């Protein structure tokens, strides 16, 4: 089965999404004694330590969360400190909290259930201070481990149907999920979580790449099995979710070396794992099998024309330039955390407008063409924003305005 009309995945979504009835009927209880490890730890590979001290990134978060296109005028080959910043501010451990049952290692990007099932791999040619190879990033000791020597980028380039940014990248990052680390809590729904949880991580990665002026783009179209074979992922338990070509070079890699199965030993995640067949079925039903299929999958993003507003419009004027907050992206990532306690003061309209404008400029991705295209419409329930009546709104991005739907 392969990526077709989408009906298999729509049916997966319908069967696994929550409803008041499904939440009431669920008998699933968390088996704390069997909670999976939040790390993939290769037992037999030597760690290659990454720099512990990272130079500050003195670029405002509000500037870099909105980059849609990268300049490829110049050669850009990321060095090891830059790669470490990209890995650490996306998937690194940023906080440790001790509680009676143990310790939680919080990461740079939010993840459902704090279960952190997305791992990062690098596939690169020879770089300053890093030999060509396929590497896994271990957040637990902030180290790389080399799975394969040699330059395997050509395998990924072919898997993407010769996608232009991938073909020119000195380094290609791959996000992959080990389902059980999330399915322990979310059961068959974990396949959907792969994309949310890779998404938070990719948002950080793209912002830090923009701050370091490293070209970067999310590539979601690839021959799934080819990528998974290269990373030696276990097809029943793991999947590659997205690639991110990083940097730009005129040099093109030669043919890739052989990549036989590795069967590398990793630390068991828990006493036993529960298989949810719907996850694998959804992955297979949405996989691409040949570079030709990938090329056919690329195309113009559908751009449904938003209905003209009929309700009252509030124009939004974001804070930009000198008036905008200048908090640096690395500080913002380290400061970020989820909370269930909120300040009991309204949000100013300008701050609210800035949030919406910056967050909806677009994402550099192979499935969003032309740059700036979006697949989302934003609906908002507003309780306390100065200058806005409480109510339900829809955001008209092209008009920079909010339409009141219901007070
Ligand atoms: C896609 C997504 C959905 C989430 N949904 C919920 C939720 O329904 N309820 C909740 O309390 N937290 C939710 N969270 C927050 C996570 O529990 C939180 O990110 C995680 O515990 C890590 O903590 P941190 O965000 O402080 O780093 C969600 C996070 C993500 C990324």
Supply the pLDDT for residue 253. Answer: 97
Q: Would the CB of 198 count as within 6 Å of ligand 1?
A: no
Distance 183 CA to ligand 1 centre (A): 15
* Per-residue confidence (pLDDT) for residue 343, from 0 to 100: 84
H or E element that contains 197: helix 190-211
170 within 8 A of 78, measured Cβ to Cβ = yes
**Is the C-beta atom of 111 inside 6 A of ligand 1?**
yes
Q: With H, G, I as helix, E, B as strand and everything else as coil, classify residue 134.
A: strand
User: Does the 7-297 domain belong in CATH 3.40.109.10?
Assistant: yes
Residue 28 has a CB neighbour count (10 Å cut-off) of 8
Q: What is the CA(165)–ligand 1 centre distance, in A?
A: 32
State in Å: Cα 337 to ligand 1 middle: 9
Is the ipTM reported for this complex over the cut 0.85? yes
Decide: 338 in ligand 1 pocket, CB within 6 A.
yes
209 — phi, psi (to 5°)? -60, -40
Distance (Å, whole) CA 392 – CA 407: 6
What residues does each domain of the chain span?
Answer: 7-297, 313-406
Which atom of ligand 1 is least distant from the CA of 196? 1
Residue nearest to atom 4 of ligand 1 (CA): 112
CA distances (Å), origin 213, targets 129, 244, 261, 348: 20, 15, 36, 31
Token pair for 113: 């259930």
Q: Is 182 in the pocket of ligand 1 (CB under 6 A)?
A: no
What digits encode the pLDDT tens for the residues 137-192?
999 999 999 999 999 999 999 999 999 999 999 999 999 999 999 999 999 999 99
Ligand 1 pocket test target in 18, 112, 333, 334 with most atoms within 8 Å of CB: 112
The two tokens of residue 32 are 């704390």
Residue 3 pLDDT class (50, 70, 90 cuts):
low
End-to-end CA distance of the chain: 47
Cβ of 337 below 6 Å from ligand 1: yes
Mutate to test the pocket of ligand 1, among 338, 340, 342 (most ligand atoms within 8 A of CB): 338
Q: pLDDT per residue over 217-261, tens digit each?
A: 999 999 999 999 999 999 999 999 999 999 999 999 999 999 999
Is the CB of residue 407 less than 8 Å from the CB of residue 400? no
Q: 306 falls in which pLDDT band (50, 70, 90)?
A: confident
Atom 20 of ligand 1 has which residue's CA nearest to it? 114
* pLDDT for res 70: 86
Task: Tell me the per-residue pLDDT of 177-227, one tens digit each, with 9 for 90 and over.
Answer: 999 999 999 999 999 999 999 999 999 999 999 999 999 999 999 999 999
């Amino acid at each position: 089965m392969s990526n077709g009309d989408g009906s298999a995945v729509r049916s997966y979504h319908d069967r696994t999404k929550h409803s008041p009835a499904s939440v009431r009927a669920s008998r699933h209880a968390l088996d704390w004694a069997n909670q999976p490890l939040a790390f993939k730890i290769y037992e037999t590979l030597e760690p290659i330590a990454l720099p512990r001290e990272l130079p500050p990134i003195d670029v405002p978060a509000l500037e870099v969360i909105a980059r849609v296109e990268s300049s490829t005028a110049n050669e850009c080959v990321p060095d090891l400190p830059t790669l470490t910043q990209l890995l650490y501010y996306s998937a690194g451990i940023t906080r440790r909290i001790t509680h009676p049952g143990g310790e939680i290692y919080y990461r740079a990007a939010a993840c459902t259930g704090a279960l952190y099932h997305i791992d990062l791999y690098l596939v690169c040619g020879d770089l300053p201070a890093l030999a060509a190879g396929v590497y896994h990033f271990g957040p637990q000791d902030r180290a790389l481990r080399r799975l394969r020597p040699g330059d395997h980028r050509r395998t990924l380039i072919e898997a993407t149907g010769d996608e232009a940014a991938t073909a020119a990248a000195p380094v290609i990052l791959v996000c992959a999920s080990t389902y059980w680390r999330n399915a322990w809590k979310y059961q068959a729904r974990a396949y959907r979580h792969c994309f949310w949880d890779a998404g938070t991580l990719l948002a950080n990665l793209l912002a830090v790449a923009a701050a370091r002026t490293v070209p970067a783009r999310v590539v979601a179209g690839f021959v799934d099995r080819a990528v998974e074979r290269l990373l030696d992922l276990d097809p029943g338990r793991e999947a590659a979710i997205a690639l991110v070509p990083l940097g730009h070079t005129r040099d093109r890699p030669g043919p890739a070396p052989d990549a036989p199965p590795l069967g590398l030993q990793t630390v068991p995640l828990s006493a036993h794992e529960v298989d949810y067949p719907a996850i694998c079925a959804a992955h297979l039903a949405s996989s691409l099998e040949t570079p030709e299929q990938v090329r056919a999958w690329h195309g113009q993003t559908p751009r449904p024309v938003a209905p003209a507003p009929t309700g009252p419009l509030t124009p939004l004027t974001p804070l930009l330039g000198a008036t905008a907050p200048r908090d640096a992206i690395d500080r913002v990532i380290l400061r970020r955390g989820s909370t269930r306690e909120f300040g009991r003061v309204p949000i100013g309209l300008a701050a609210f407008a800035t949030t919406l404008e910056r967050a909806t400029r677009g994402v550099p991705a192979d499935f969003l063409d032309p740059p700036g295209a979006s697949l989302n419409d934003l609906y908002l329930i507003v309780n306390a924003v100065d200058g806005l009546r409480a109510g339900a709104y829809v955001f008209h991005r092209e008009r920079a305005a909010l339409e009141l739907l219901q007070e």
